[in-house]
Structure 1
Amino acid sequence: MIREGGCLCGAVRYKAEGEPLNVRACHCRNCQKAMGSPFFARALFPQTALTIEGEIGRYPSSDAIDRVFCKRCGTRLFSWRRNGTAAGVALATFDDRNAFAPTEHIWVSEKIAWVTLDDGLPQYETTIPP
């Protein structure tokens, strides 16, 4: 299966092939700041499963992650692992914004206080235990 998406202005388009490795809502402080939102809802794909067209920018938000965005409109599209393995695709940027739903919450120890998690999904204080 191939799912498509893109930024607000349409200058960047992408295709994600296959099924995601996981779908999570991350509540860590870096994701909050990078997304300008209480959390980052994303589908994790192998980088090899993604095809991107258009001019993107990157910001190294940590030693491990680049935040990828449209250079024209600023839409935040991906969290790109710098080791070349995977990329988190922002769920709301898929053309079908209901294609995926998170199956768990990570980094709830850094969750914004007014966010209530009552969806019954598993919650992890930091990341998923090995």
Structure 2
Amino acid sequence: MAAQTVREGGCLCGAVRFRAEGEPLNVRVCHCRRCQMAMGSPFFARALFDQRALTIQGDTACYPSSEALERVFCKACGTRLFSRRTNGSATGVALAAFDDRNAFAPTEHIWVSEKLHWVCLDDGLPQYPGTVPP
């Protein structure tokens, strides 16, 4: 049996470290207004992992940004690291928080109906006005 891929990362100050095992469920860039506000950025680029594949060490805090998601960040430096589904099923990990920030490349853009007007999407990836269709 082949060894499972493990990728690690953490926050700016190093107080929080995480470990993600295996491959993500998907890798997307979200342009919704909640992600913009939560990240303080034009979008949230993240890899979605099954909650059981993620191990987090360090002192974090969270904010419930909706009924479905809570945003998790380092208590010491404030680095925004995760969007965790409140049902416990999955966690989105900020791509830039991985030690190898090029470990994953997004495969699609979601909620482009809410993207900032000056953001130009010319990467050739699929774009969806809302979430990905079923």
Does TM, scored on the shorter chain, surpass 0.5? yes
Counterpart position of 2:129: 125
Please, which of 47, 56, 60 is the counterpart of residue 56 of structure 1?
Answer: 60
Alpha carbon RMSD of aligned pairs, Å?
Answer: 0.3
Counterpart position of 1:116: 120
The alpha carbon displacement at 1:13 in A equals 0.1
Counterpart position of 1:67: 71
Counterpart position of 1:16: 20
The alpha carbon displacement at 1:21 in A equals 0.2
Which residues of structure 2 form unaligned runs of 5+?
none
CA–CA separation in structure 1 for the residues paired with 2:81 and 2:115: 21
Three-state SS of the structure 1 residue aligned to 2:28 is: strand
4+ residue runs of structure 1 moved beyond 4 angstroms? none
Letter in 2 for 1:90: A
TM-score, structure 1 as length reference? 1.00
Aligned length: 130
Please, which of 32, 35, 38 is the counterpart of residue 28 of structure 1?
Answer: 32
The alpha carbon displacement at 1:16 in A equals 0.1
The alpha carbon displacement at 1:62 in A equals 0.4
The alpha carbon displacement at 1:11 in A equals 0.1
Counterpart position of 2:6: 2
Matched residues, percent identical? Answer: 78
Is 1:94 the counterpart of 2:88? The answer is no
Q: For each residue in 1:68-90, what CA deviation from the matched residue of structure 2 results, as whole angstroms up to 9, or x when unmatched?
A: 00000000000000001000000
Q: For each residue in 1:46-68, what CA deviation from the matched residue of structure 2 results, as whole angstroms up to 9, or x when unmatched?
A: 00000000000000000110000
The alpha carbon displacement at 1:122 in A equals 0.1
